[in-house]
Amino acid sequence: MANSRKSRPKSNALLITLLIVVGLILLLLYLKRRDQPVPADLSGFNYYPSLNQGVLVQHQHYSLSYVEEHEQAEWVAYELTKTEALTNTDRTDDFREDPKILTGSASLNDYRRSGYDRGHLAPAGDMGFSQVAMSESFYLSNMSPQDRAFNRGVWKNLEESVRDWAVANGSLYVITGPVFGNDPKKIGENGVSVPTYYYKVLLDYQQPGIKAIGFLLPNEGTSQLPQDFIETIDNIEAYTGLDFFPELPDDLEEELESAVNTRGWY
């Protein structure tokens, strides 16, 4: 009996030591995990830019901010998935006025003999995954007067790259729009403004490689490549007066928009 009583303090001391060791291990694991950055959950977040001068119009497969003064959108926004980018349907070419623009959108006559293309902001090539999406892309609210060489050259190349990136990354948020000077040229009876520049801003919101990139291109033909017109998103915001991805966490927004980073794009 005496030996049994003497062994109890040793057993208790061993148990206490073991509990202390386990507690220290758990504390170290907690501290290590606490110091790791928490991945941002961006699924389902509102990717629309701010509304500067426009009125929000939502179609089934893209949304836009329509500016009556310029008879076109200040931005068009949509998500493009890998499946959508890989699916094609025939072009409809059914250019027509947008019934959702209560003040009336630009008309076909505005572009006729103007010397400018009816340039898509949300390109038909991105909307080939359904007949409805394709048809919606031909609303004149989604058009902007583009220099023909620009529309069929460097701009087309950039649009094709966007689809390639959507396939490579699984999904992208795409925002596109015009930039006007102080006194833009007007075409047509409705006075459609001719932009001096166009921008395209892309966000890959997939973990672990969240990234963004911006382009700012003059509305003119060029032999240069789209990557020659990469610009920080902050600078595009300064040109347009818009705020892109305002619902991103502030630190992530600052990281993505303040500098040019082509990793994962080129």
Look up the pTM and report it: 0.83
* Alpha-carbon distance values, 228 to 154, 215, 218, 223, 225 (Å): 10, 9, 11, 10, 5
> Quick one: pLDDT at residue 40?
46
Residue 27 has pLDDT above 90, yes or no: no
Nearest 10 degrees: Cα torsion 126, 129, 133, 138: 50
Q: Which residues pair with 198 in a beta bridge?
A: 178, 217
Q: Which residues pair with 119 in a beta bridge?
A: 144
- Nearest one of 66, 147, 133, 144 to 101, comparing CA atoms: 66
Cα gap 78→80, rounded to integer Å = 6
Cβ neighbours, 10 Å, residue 183: 7
Q: What average pLDDT does the structure give for the chain?
A: 90
Considering the chain, what percentage of its residues have pLDDT values greater than 70?
88
The runs of H, that is alpha helices, within 112-181 are 131-136, 148-151, 154-169
* Alpha-carbon distance values, 152 to 63, 221, 233 (Å): 24, 9, 25
Q: CB under 8 Å to 145, separation ≥6 — which residues?
A: 111, 114, 116, 117, 118, 119, 187, 192, 193, 194, 195
Cα gap 178→120, rounded to integer Å = 11
- Nearest one of 111, 117, 116, 136 to 126, comparing CA atoms: 136
What mean pLDDT do residues 174-185 have?
96
Split at pLDDT 50, 70, 90, the class of 28 is: low
> Quick one: pLDDT at residue 38?
41
The active-site residue, picked from 59, 61, 70, 120, is 120
Cα gap 20→89, rounded to integer Å = 66
- As a whole number of Å, the end-to-end CA separation of the chain is 79
What mean pLDDT do residues 198-222 have?
95
> Quick one: pLDDT at residue 207?
83
- Per-range mean pLDDT, top range of 6-20, 21-35, 199-213, 218-232: 218-232
> Quick one: pLDDT at residue 55?
96
- Per-range mean pLDDT, top range of 25-34, 37-46, 185-194, 199-208: 185-194
- Nearest one of 228, 85, 245 to 165, comparing CA atoms: 85
Split at pLDDT 50, 70, 90, the class of 35 is: very low
Q: CB under 8 Å to 18, separation ≥6 — which residues?
A: none
pLDDT tens per residue, range 102-133: 999 999 999 999 999 999 999 999 999 999 99
Active site residue 120: yes
Was domain 55-257 assigned CATH 3.40.1190.20?
no
Q: CB under 8 Å to 56, separation ≥6 — which residues?
A: 48, 63, 64, 65
